[in-house]
Structure 1
Amino acid sequence: MVFLILSVLIQFAFVVHIVKTGRSTTWIWIVLVLPVAGMLAYLVLEVLPDLGNTRQGRKASRKVKEALNPNKSINEASARYQQSDTVENAMNLANACLEKGLHDEARQLFEKCLNGPLSDDPNIMFGLATAEFGLGNAERSKQILDELIEKNPEFKHQDAHLLYARSLDKLDKIADAQHEYETLYNYYSGPDAAYYFAKFLSANHSYERAQEIFAEIVNSAQTQSRHYRDLHQKIINKAKAELT
Structure 2
Amino acid sequence: MPIVVLSLLIQIALVIHIVKTGRNKTWIWLVMILPVAGAVAYVVLELLPDFAGTRSGRKTLRTVQDLVNPDRDLKSAAQDYEIAKTTENAQRLAQELLLKEQYTEAALLYKNCLKGLHEFDPLFMYGLAQAEFGLGNFSAVKELLDQLIAKNPDYKNPDAHLLYARVLESLDDTQAALHEFEVLDSYYPGAEASYHFAKLLQKLGQTERALKVFEAILAKAKTSGSYYNEIHGKWIKLTALELRR
TM > 0.5 fold call: yes
Question: In the alignment, what sits opposite 1:28?
Answer: 36
> Tell me, what secondary structure is at the counterpart of 2:146?
helix
Change (3 A) 1:187 1:234: same
CA positional deviation for 1:17: 7.6
Q: CA deviation digits over 1:79-128, x for unaligned, max 9?
A: 11111001110011101111222211111111111133211111100000
Change (3 A) 1:194 1:12: same
Question: In the alignment, what sits opposite 1:215?
Answer: 215
CA positional deviation for 1:212: 1.5
Equivalent residue pairs, number: 231
* Residue identity opposite 1:28 in structure 2: V
Change (3 A) 1:85 1:202: same
Match status 1:95 vs 2:103: no
- Partners of 2:90 and 2:121 lie apart in 1 by 14
Question: In the alignment, what sits opposite 1:35?
Answer: none
Change (3 A) 1:13 1:56: farther
Structure 2: gaps of 5 or more residues: 19-26
CA positional deviation for 1:68: 2.6
Asked if the contact 1:138/1:167 (under 8 Å) is kept, the reply is yes
CA positional deviation for 1:42: 9.3
Asked if the contact 1:120/1:148 (under 8 Å) is kept, the reply is yes
- Partners of 2:93 and 2:231 lie apart in 1 by 22
CA positional deviation for 1:73: 1.8
- Partners of 2:196 and 2:147 lie apart in 1 by 24
Asked if the contact 2:7/2:35 (under 8 Å) is kept, the reply is no
Give matches, 1:1-244, under 5 Å: 12=7, 16=11, 20=15, 22=27, 28=36, 47-243=47-243, 244=245
- Which is greater in Rg? 2
* Identity across matched positions, percent: 41
Asked if the contact 1:184/1:193 (under 8 Å) is kept, the reply is yes
Asked if the contact 2:165/2:181 (under 8 Å) is kept, the reply is yes
Q: CA deviation digits over 1:174-212, x for unaligned, max 9?
A: 111111111111121111110111111111111221122
CA positional deviation for 1:15: 6.2
- Give TM-score scaled by structure 1 length: 0.82
Change (3 A) 1:153 1:47: same
- Partners of 1:164 and 1:102 lie apart in 2 by 21
